[in-house]
């Protein structure tokens, strides 16, 4: 088991891979770390995979995974997490904007600081304003929703205990929310380290403005799934109750008006002629539908879910 595993998602970064490998290897050798470098080629259309092949022939610590097509950064990280075996797992981007010189400090915080996750904070960024302003807004909203006080959820330079990455599954654009997933899976010791951010040396950024929209949608998705996956009736039942109760109250009010008006000899419109009647009818129907949806979801959860509701961190005196 190496001390450090470095996972690097790659998408069209052929110019930087050789320099990045030499830089990582130099840092590891200088500090006496045992290590492995896992490049995950995410469907690159340039010669990135050929470069990775050559690097693995020269350096026994370099490993590679090659996707059949571009699946995205989250898929690349998830595949890498399943393969690595180091005590501490470091993730970084392949564009040389993340400095490998930060690895020893991240490793120390995990091993000696007692943290489960350390997230990098690019306090001084070398990116255009079109990336920095949306990123700050995105981070502020994510902090508010998640309750995790990190400045830079988007930073690719992070460190994890090996047990953390083995117990989470990431997909879509969830790589931004790995600290959140770690917290929800029982690893709440999350810290932050200011890291050096390099100006891009080769090529251009592969991420557009749409990643922020996708990120917000995934944040809503992961929040909903975490809270209601095992108890969908709590969500649908609450909405159904509110809707049904509203419709019931409006119906009672209309009936009271009708009865009261007749008792006083007043001319009162028929209940079915009033707009509130149709609003009440819709509310009652929606309430019933939401209740039925909740019951069906509960049945599906109880009958089909085979996933344990707990994760074992350690075992003692087991012989198997």
The model's pLDDT over 17-37, given as tens digits with 9 standing for 90+, comes to 999 999 999 999 999 999 999
Model pLDDT, residue 164: 95
Q: Is residue 119 within 8 Å of residue 187, measured between CB atoms? A: no
Residues 130, 209 contacting (CB under 8 angstroms): yes
CATH number of the domain at 4-228, out of 1.10.760.10, 3.30.70.260, 3.90.550.10, 3.30.70.1400?
3.90.550.10
What is the number of other CB atoms lying within 10 angstroms of the CB of residue 10? 28
pTM above 0.85, yes or no: no
Give pLDDT tens digits for 170-186.
877 788 888 888 988 88
Across the range 39-48, mean pLDDT stands at 92
Mean pLDDT of 71-75: 88
Structure confidence at residue 304 (pLDDT):
53
Q: Residue 119 phi/psi, 5° resolution?
A: -105, 135
Quick one: DSSP state of residue 178? H
pLDDT of residue 254: 87
pLDDT for residue 124 is more than 90: no
* Digit-coded pLDDT (tens) for 220-251: 776 676 666 667 777 788 888 899 999 999 98
pLDDT for the residue 9 = 94
Q: What is the pLDDT of residues 157-169, one digit of tens each?
A: 999 999 999 998 8
Confidence at residue 317, expressed as pLDDT on a 0 to 100 scale: 43
How much is the pLDDT for 262? 79
pLDDT at 142 over 90: no
Q: Judging by beta carbons within 10 Å of its beta carbon (0-12, 13-18, 19+), is residue 304 exposed, middle or buried? A: exposed
**Which two tokens mark 89?**
């797992």
| Higher-confidence position of 140 and 246 | 246
CB-based burial of residue 247 (10 Å sphere; 0-12 exposed, 13-18 middle, 19+ buried)? Answer: buried
- pLDDT given at position 11: 92
Ranking 85-94, 139-148, 189-198, 208-217 by mean pLDDT, the lowest is: 208-217
The helix or strand, by DSSP H or E, that contains position 8, with its residue range, turns out to be strand 4-10
Classified as helix, coil or strand, 194 is: strand
* More confident position, 189 or 227: 189
The domain limits of the chain are 4-228, 232-304
CA distance 190 to 113: 11
Mean pLDDT of all residues belonging to the chain: 83
Cα dihedral sign, 242-244-250-252: negative
């Amino acid at each position: 088991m190496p001390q450090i595993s470095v996972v690097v998602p790659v998408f069209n970064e052929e110019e930087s891979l050789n320099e990045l490998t030499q830089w990582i290897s130099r840092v590891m050798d200088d500090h006496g770390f045992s290590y492995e470098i896992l490049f995950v080629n995410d469907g690159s259309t340039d010669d990135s995979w050929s470069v990775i092949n050559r690097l693995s022939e020269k350096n026994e610590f370099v490993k590679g995974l090659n996707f059949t097509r571009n699946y995205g950064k989250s898929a690349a990280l998830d595949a890498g997490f399943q393969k690595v075996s180091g005590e501490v797992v470091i993730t970084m981007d392949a564009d040389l904007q993340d400095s490998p010189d930060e690895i020893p400090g991240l490793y120390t915080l995990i091993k000696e600081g007692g943290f489960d996750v350390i997230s990098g904070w690019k306090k001084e960024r070398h990116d255009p304003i079109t990336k920095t302003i949306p990123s700050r807004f995105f981070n502020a909203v994510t902090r508010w929703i998640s309750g995790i006080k990190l400045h830079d959820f988007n930073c690719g330079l992070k460190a994890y205990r090996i047990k953390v990455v083995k117990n989470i599954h990431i997909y879509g654009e969830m790589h931004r929310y790995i600290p959140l997933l770690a917290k929800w899976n029982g690893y709440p010791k999350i810290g932050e380290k200011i890291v050096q951010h390099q100006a891009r040396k080769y090529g251009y950024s592969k991420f557009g403005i749409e990643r922020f929209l996708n990120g917000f949608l995934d944040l809503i998705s992961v929040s909903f799934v975490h809270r209601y996956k095992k108890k969908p009736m709590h969500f649908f039942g609450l909405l159904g109750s509110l809707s049904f109760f509203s419709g019931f109250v409006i119906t009672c009010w209309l009936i009271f008006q009708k009865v009261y008006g007749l008792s006083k000899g007043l001319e009162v419109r028929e209940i079915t002629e009033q707009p509130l009647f149709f609003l009440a009818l819709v509310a009652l129907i929606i309430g019933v539908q939401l209740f039925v949806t909740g019951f069906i979801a509960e049945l599906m959860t109880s009958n089909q879910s085979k996933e344990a509701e707990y994760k074992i961190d350690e075992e003692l005196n087991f012989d198997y």
